[in-house]
């Protein structure tokens, strides 16, 4: 035992939120947890290279190679169990997880969503779509939310939120970048530390 909670980060793309977590572990923001495993559902995800550069073990569970959702999740579960993972963080993971999976790891799965839930969230609301919707609505403030994951997309208990101003002339891309820099990259490591510390106390 290292005295730290083992964390698995599930990714699908570039891994900017993963990088924020890796940096936070290095700088001591995350003290109670250790990123032990990065799992991607896409073989070519750049996030895997970020993990390897940081010396973190990686694995790929390609959904296209699985016959069913159950098989896809079973492969992820076996990786989590084999590696003694106690906390799962979804960092731009573009697959919905079933109730079977989320119940198994109740209050042990974190996700960051690029809006102030309950605004602009739920099924189909991810990535740039969220920021497009916020701009279309004309909101003056948006932000990010870290929440526990349950069977309802973006429906779990909220842990942390941070507001970010919408500026005149914002595009979905500029807004996305600002929300990442000012909210997501700060909240996700903070939440990882909070939950890891709590697990250690159990």
Q: Which of 50, 75, 113, 131 is catalytic?
A: 113
Sheet strands side by side (includes 5-11): 57-60, 33-40, 5-11, 87-90, 109-113, 141-148, 158-165
**Known active-site residue 147:** no
Helix or strand run (H / E) with residue 146: strand 141-148
The secondary structure element, H or E, covering residue 92 is none
Say if residues 156 and 112 touch (Cβ distance below 8 Å): no
Angle at 159 between CA 184 and CA 136, to 5 degrees: 50
Q: What is the 3-state secondary structure (H, E, C) of 103-137?
A: HHCCCCEEEEECCCCCCCCCCCCCCHHHHHHHHHH
Q: Which of 134, 92, 124 is nearest to 110 (CA)?
A: 92
Q: The tokens of 177 are what?
A: 């970048």
Active centre residues (catalytic) = 113
């Amino acid at each position: 035992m290292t005295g730290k909670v083992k964390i698995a980060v599930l990714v699908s793309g570039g891994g900017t939120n993963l990088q924020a977590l890796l940096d936070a572990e290095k700088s001591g923001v995350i003290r109670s947890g250790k990123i032990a495993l990065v799992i991607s559902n896409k073989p070519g995800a750049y996030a895997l290279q970020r993990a390897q550069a940081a010396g973190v073990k990686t694995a790929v569970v390609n959904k296209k190679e699985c016959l069913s959702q159950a098989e896809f999740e079973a492969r992820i579960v076996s990786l989590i169990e084999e590696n003694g993972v106690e906390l799962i963080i979804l960092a731009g993971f573009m697959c919905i997880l079933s109730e079977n999976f989320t119940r198994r790891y109740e209050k042990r799965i974190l996700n960051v969503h690029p809006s102030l839930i309950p605004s602009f969230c739920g099924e189909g609301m991810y990535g740039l779509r969220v920021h497009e919707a916020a701009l279309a609505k004309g909101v003056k403030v948006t932000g990010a939310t870290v929440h526990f994951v349950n069977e309802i997309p973006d429906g779990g208990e909220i842990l942390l939120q941070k507001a970010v101003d919408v500026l005149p002339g914002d595009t979905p891309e500029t807004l996305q970048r600002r929300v990442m820099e000012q909210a997501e990259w700060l909240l996700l490591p903070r939440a990882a530390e909070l939950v890891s510390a709590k697990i250690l106390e159990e």
